[in-house]
């Protein structure tokens, strides 16, 4: 989709549809909405006084100017109560308007920047949020439909942001560009997650990363089974041994030529941040096989890897001044005559041995080797993201990501990024005492800690492999897929959770 920015008055736009807004409780609209209302002879005021439009959050109404202005339609979107309005309100309003526009069958429209100049919201952030909300809301995944749905509307091809004051146009352009980069990265992650497991094998994920590297000037390295064996990634290879699909260890780097071994990096003052994403392209549970109901959702068990890939894409496109490394261990988890069995012991890359109690606790096994691999970068921070535990769905539901970490500053930074992006996170504790639950009789550690605090014991297990690095962990189980539209910009299906959070974390790193 094309995003344009121009200086001008929305009421003189020549377009099939223009979008303005209204706060709840306002009876005399001002600004751009007021100007449109006056041009329409008070039609918006009439709607309000008749009680037919109240400006409730994400409420929409369509007016037909009948020649009073050049636009064919006017869409008014409600912003809700002004005192409760924030940046996510902008995203949602833009999303609601964009979806309504598509329902109307238009293929382009013009809009004002919702919330620009409102209390606490700066214009650049608001423009970014408008574009994010628009592109995210219009996302759909139709790749495997051979015919369009009966009532399917065409894609919106172009959206124009109209800014009244010409000197503010560059600010709006900057925000719009950022928003477009980030939203397109989220939609790429959504595509990867929505893709069925036979179309998103480890090898296909690796090819996708290689294409991304070519398009966005990233460095990509893919380790195959032999290379992993040589390094000693026994935990990852243990999970992979039950599958016919070759596993891949995917490495994507932004500003790789300035990494810490080149001595260049310290001169340039670039910090290294490693993002690690769980890439189980299908989780059957392995020999500890899962029940059949909803097993198809386990195609989304690579949502962590998808989030990391999206974050690297945006980091490159935005050229964040950091050395960012994405590590994506990718494999299927399947039962077979060659598969690992409960009771097996694996030797991980770190040297620690792991007793496999459940082959369904495979995510922490592949992440263990990826975290050990991260050590070589001596990073300033490592954050992993994974659809790791059903216990996290029980504890925090489908809304909130579980956050755990060993570094208070890093955890605080993630919470700050969460507040800005409205990607909700909540911290769970990593008290030493939880370590008791994962002590093994035969190996250094075991891969399950029983039912109590399952999200925490999984994270505690990971912490053993992140020793010495500032580390945090995001458990997105239950958050990667949604069975119904969450909000106007989060349609049913893959959510792309984590991408916007990571990008915010990276963009704010030096601040």
Q: Site for Zn ion (CB under 5 A): how many residues?
A: 4
Is 311 or 367 the residue whose CB approaches ligand BES more closely? 367
| 283 belongs to the binding site for Mn ion (CB under 5 A) | yes
**Least CB distance from residue 280 to ligand BES, whole Å?**
6
SS3 330: strand
Q: Which pair of tokens denotes residue 198? A: 């036979």
Alpha-carbon gap, residue 76 to 8, rounded angstroms: 19
CB of residue 284 to Mn ion, shortest distance in Å: 8
Residue in 344, 390, 426, 435 binding ligand BES, rule: CB under 6 A: 390
Q: Which of 389, 463, 487, 495 binds ligand BES (CB under 6 A)?
A: 389
477 binds, among ligand BES, Zn ion, Mn ion, none (CB under 5 to 8 A by kind): ligand BES
Give the one residue of 301, 369, 384, 407 binding Zn ion; rule: CB under 5 A.
Answer: 301
Residue 402 vs residues 310, 395, 456: alpha-carbon distances, Å: 20, 9, 9
Q: What are phi and psi of 20, to 5 degrees?
A: -125, -175
Which of 104-112, 117-125, 354-362, 485-493 is the region at the interface with ligand BES (rule: CB under 6 A)? 354-362
CB 508 within 8 A of CB 429: no
Tell me, what DSSP letter sits at residue 116?
T
Minimum distance from residue 361 beta carbon to ligand BES (Å): 4
Tokens of 263: 């001595």
Question: Residue 238: how many CA atoms within 13 Å on its side-chain side?
Answer: 33
Which residue is nearest to Mn ion, using beta carbons?
A: 360
Q: Compare residues 221 and 358 and give the one whose CB is closer to ligand BES.
A: 358
Strand 401-405 versus strand 471-475 pairing type: antiparallel
Is 364 one of the catalytic residues? yes
126 contact choice in Zn ion, ligand BES, Mn ion, none (CB below 5 to 8 Å, kind-dependent): none
What is the crossing angle of helices 169-194 and 303-317, to 10°?
150
Q: Does 448 bind ligand BES (CB under 6 A)?
A: yes
The pair of structure tokens assigned to 484 is 């119904």
Closer CB to ligand BES, 281 or 389, in the complex: 389
Whichever of 113 and 386 has its CB closer to Zn ion, that residue is: 386
Contact positions with Zn ion (CB under 5 A) in 334-393: 363
Among Mn ion, Zn ion, ligand BES, none, the one that 286 touches (CB under a kind-dependent 5 to 8 A) is none
- Residues contacting residue 498 through CB under 8 Å, at least 6 positions apart: 189, 303, 304, 307, 308, 310, 311, 385, 401, 423, 474, 476
Q: Verify binding: residue 363, ligand BES, rule CB under 6 A.
A: yes
The rounded distance, in Å, linking the Cα atoms of 380 and 386 is 20
C-alpha–C-alpha distance, residues 372 and 370, integer Å:
5
Distances (CA, A) of 511 to 166, 326, 480, 506: 29, 22, 29, 10
Nearer to Zn ion, 273 or 280 (CB): 280
- Other beta carbons less than 10 A from residue 338's beta carbon: 11
Closest C-alpha among 92, 94, 79 to residue 26: 79
Judged by beta carbon, residue 73 or residue 446, the one nearer Zn ion is 446
Smallest separation, CB 246 to Zn ion (Å): 19
* Strand, helix or coil for residue 146: coil
Name the closest residue to ligand BES (Cβ).
390
Active-site residue, 258 included: no
Query: Is 283 among the residues that bind Zn ion (CB under 5 A)?
Result: yes
Question: One of 174, 225, 290, 424 is an active-site residue; which one?
Answer: 290
CB 114 within 8 A of CB 165: no
Q: Which of the residues 248, 258, 364, 500 is marked catalytic?
A: 364
Among 247, 405, 478, 491, interactor with ligand BES by CB under 6 A: 478
Which of Mn ion, ligand BES, Zn ion, none has residue 295 at its interface (CB below 5 to 8 Å by kind)? none
Q: Closer CB to Zn ion, residue 65 or residue 363? A: 363
Cβ 298 to Zn ion shortest distance, Å:
7
Part in contact with ligand BES (CB under 6 A); list of ranges 10-18, 200-208, 245-253, 361-369: 361-369
Collect all residues with Cβ–Cβ distance below 8 Å to 419 and sequence separation of at least 6.
none
Q: What residues numbered 294-313 form the site for ligand BES, per CB under 6 A?
A: 301
Beta strands 401-405; 345-347: pairing state: unpaired
Site string for Mn ion, 355-384 (x = CB under 5 A): -----x-x----------------------
Q: Which of 207, 242, 332, 233 is nearest to 279 (CA)?
A: 332
Q: Name which of 469 and 477 has its Cβ closer to Zn ion.
A: 477
How far is the CA of 196 from the CAs of 140, 145, 299, 362, 428, in angstroms?
A: 15, 13, 6, 20, 32
Catalytically active residues are: 290, 364
The site for ligand BES (CB under 6 A) is made up of: 283, 301, 358, 360-363, 387-391, 393, 448, 454, 477-478
Q: Which residues bind Zn ion (CB under 5 A)?
A: 280, 283, 301, 363
Give the binding site for Mn ion (CB under 5 A): 283, 360, 362
């Amino acid at each position: 989709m094309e995003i344009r920015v121009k200086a001008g008055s929305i009421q003189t736009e020549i377009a099939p549809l223009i979008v303005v807004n209204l706060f709840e409780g306002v009876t005399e609209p001002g600004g751009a909405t007021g100007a449109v209302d006056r041009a329409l002879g008070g039609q918006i005021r009439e709607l309000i006084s008749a009680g037919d439009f109240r400006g409730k959050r994400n409420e929409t109404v369509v007016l037909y100017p009948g020649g009073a202005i050049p636009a064919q339609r006017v869409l008014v979107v409600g912003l809700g109560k002004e005192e409760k309005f924030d940046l996510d309100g902008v995203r949602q309003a833009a999303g609601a308007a964009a979806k309504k526009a598509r329902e109307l069958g238009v293929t382009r429209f013009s809009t004002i920047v919702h919330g620009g100049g409102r209390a606490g919201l700066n214009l650049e952030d608001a423009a970014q949020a408008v574009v994010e909300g628009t592109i995210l809301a219009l996302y759909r995944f139709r790749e495997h439909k051979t015919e369009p749905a009966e009532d399917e509307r065409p894609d919106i091809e172009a959206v124009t942001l109209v800014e009244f004051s010409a000197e503010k146009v560059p600010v709006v352009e900057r925000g719009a560009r950022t928003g477009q980069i980030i939203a397109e990265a989220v939609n790429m992650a959504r595509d990867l997650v929505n893709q069925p497991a036979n179309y998103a094998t480890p090898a296909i994920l690796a090819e996708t990363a290689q294409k991304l590297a070519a398009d966005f000037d990233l460095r990509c390295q893919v380790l195959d089974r032999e290379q992993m064996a040589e390094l000693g990634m026994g935990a990852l290879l243990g999970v992979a041994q039950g599958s016919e699909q070759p596993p891949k260890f995917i490495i994507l780097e932004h500003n790789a030529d300035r990494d810490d071994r080149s001595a260049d990096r310290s001169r340039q003052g670039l910090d290294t941040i490693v993002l690690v994403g769980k890439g189980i392209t299908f989780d059957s549970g392995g020999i500890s096989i899962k029940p059949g109901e909803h097993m198809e959702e386990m195609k989304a068990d690579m949502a962590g890897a998808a989030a990391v890939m999206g974050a690297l894409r945006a980091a490159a496109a935005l050229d964040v001044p950091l050395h960012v490394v994405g590590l994506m261990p990718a494999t299927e988890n399947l039962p077979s005559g060659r598969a690992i069995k409960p009771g097996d012991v694996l030797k991980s890359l770190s040297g620690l041995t792991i007793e496999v109690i459940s082959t369904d606790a495979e995510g922490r096994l592949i992440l263990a080797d990826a975290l050990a691999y991260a050590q070589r970068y001596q990073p300033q921070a490592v954050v992993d993201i994974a659809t790791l535990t059903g216990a996290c769905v029980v504890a925090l539901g489908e809304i909130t990501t579980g956050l755990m970490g060993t570094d208070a500053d890093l955890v605080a930074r993630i919470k700050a990024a969460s507040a800005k992006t409205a990607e909700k996170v909540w911290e769970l504790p990593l008290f030493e005492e939880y370590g008791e639950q994962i002590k093994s009789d035969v190996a250094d550690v075991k891969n399950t800690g029983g039912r109590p605090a399952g999200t925490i014991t999984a994270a505690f297990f990971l912490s053993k492999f992140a020793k010495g690095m500032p580390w945090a962990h995001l458990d997105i189980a239950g958050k990667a897929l949604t069975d119904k539209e969450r909000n106007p910009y989060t349609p049913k299906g893959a959510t792309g959770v984590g991408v916007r959070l990571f990008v915010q974390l990276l963009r704010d790193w030096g601040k």
